Structure formats: C-alpha cells, structure tokens
C-alpha cells in the first residue's frame, strides 16, 4: 500500500514506510542517491521531491549518510596510523586443532596517511603550492597572477 498525500492530486506517492526503511539502510551501507534511486526504481528528481516534502525523511537520510562516512573516516584513520587487533591462528597439533590467540599488528599505511593529510590540510600537503599575486596596472585594472611551484 502506498501512503497518499491528501493535499495533492494525482497518483499516490511511492514513498511508503517500507521504502523509507530501505532507503535509510542503503544510505547506511554507503550508497549514493543515484544508486538508491536505481535500486528502488525511481528517478533522482523524485528522490529530491521526497526530501523537500518530508523533512523527517531528509534528516534521517542525511544522518544515515553521515554515519556511513564516519565509519569510512575511522577506518582510513586507523590505516593511516596503524593499529592492533586481537586475532587467532589455528594450527594442526597432531590432528587436533590448536587455536592460539595473538595480537595482530598492522603497520601504518603511507598512502592512507598522505590521502588523509592532503584532504584535511590541503594548503600544507598538496603536490603543487600556489602563490597568488594581486596587483593593478597603471590604468587601475586589477591583475591576478598564479605561480605554481612544485614541492617535490
């Protein structure tokens, strides 16, 4: 069953409570609006209308996307600085499985660290630094000059 909007003429909205749940779950999994629309088989303009008309739905969707992003941020940070986690190894001890717990150490990943820094502090960690010179000529026209220098 669809929930009809009594204030509008035309066909009832496809945005049911069940569709809302699916949309939020997909957003928590990191899907984009385009991917969500493809899954629930609606046009992106329909999704935009739903967000405009239903502020609670819009807020829930934003929060779900933020939670998904925070999970990725946390994982990227862990990879950038390295981490330890508990794990187990299973050995064969004369036909009997021997389960040995240990602490797995994952070294920092330089690529993750570089990516993190370039995005968090782009003015300090980009490949090319720009100098901007602003001046004016004799006629009073403002001139802007960009000078790139490589920081390698």
What average pLDDT does this structure show over 81-91?
95
Q: Residue 69: exposed, middle, or buried by beta-carbon count in 10 A (0-12, 13-18, 19+)? A: exposed
Q: What is the pLDDT of residue 5?
A: 52
Kindly state whether residue 1 falls inside one of the protein's structural domains.
Answer: no
Contact between 24 and 68 under an 8 Å Cβ cutoff? The reply is: no
User: Residue 102 domain-assigned?
Assistant: yes
Residue 133 resides in a domain: yes
Expressed as residue numbers, the domain containing 34 is 17-150
Between helix 17-28 and helix 33-40 the angle, nearest 10°, is 140
**pLDDT tens for residues 102-115?**
999 999 999 999 99
In a domain, 108, yes or no: yes
| Count of domains forming the chain | 1
Q: What is the spatial distance between Cα 142 and Cα 66, in angstroms, rounded to a whole number?
A: 42
pLDDT per residue over 1-35, tens digit each?
A: 445 555 556 777 888 999 999 999 999 999 999 99
For 1-152, where are the alpha helices, taking DSSP H only? 17-28, 33-40, 44-53, 55-81, 110-120, 122-125
Look up the pTM and report it: 0.59
Classify residue 27: in a domain, yes or no. Answer: yes
Q: Are 89 and 102 in contact (CB under 8 A)?
A: yes
Residue 12 lies in a domain: no
pLDDT at 146: 63
Statement: residue 96 has pLDDT above 70: yes
Q: Is 82 in contact with 108 (CB distance < 8 Å)?
A: yes
Identify the sign of the CA torsion 24, 68, 40, 11.
Answer: positive
pLDDT tens for each residue of 29-83: 999 999 999 999 999 999 999 999 999 999 999 999 999 999 999 999 999 999 9
Nearest residue to 70 via CA among 127, 130, 27, 115: 27
Position 92 pLDDT exceeds 80 = yes
CA dihedral 58, 60, 65, 67 (to 10 degrees): 160
Q: Say whether pLDDT at 134 is over 60.
A: yes
Residue 82 vs residue 137, higher pLDDT: 82
In a domain, 9, yes or no: no
Residue 23, domain member (yes or no): yes
Q: What is the per-residue burial (b if ≥16 Cβ within 10 Å, else e) of 100-126?
A: eeeeeeeeebeebbeebeeeeeeeebe
């Amino acid at each position: 069953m669809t929930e009809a909007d009594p204030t509008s003429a035309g066909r009832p909205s496809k945005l049911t409570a069940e569709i809302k749940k699916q949309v939020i779950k997909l957003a928590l999994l990191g899907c984009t609006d385009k991917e969500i629309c493809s899954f629930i088989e609606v046009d992106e303009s329909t999704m935009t209308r739903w967000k405009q008309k239903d502020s609670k739905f819009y807020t829930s969707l934003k929060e779900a996307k933020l939670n998904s992003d925070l999970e990725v941020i946390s994982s990227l940070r862990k990879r950038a600085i390295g981490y330890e986690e508990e794990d187990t190894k299973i050995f064969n001890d004369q036909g009997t499985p021997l389960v040995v717990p240990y602490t797995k150490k994952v070294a920092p990943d330089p690529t993750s660290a570089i990516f993190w820094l370039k995005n968090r502090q782009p003015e300090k960690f980009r490949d090319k630094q720009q100098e901007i010179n602003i001046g004016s000529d004799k006629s009073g026209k403002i001139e802007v000059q960009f000078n790139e220098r490589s920081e390698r």
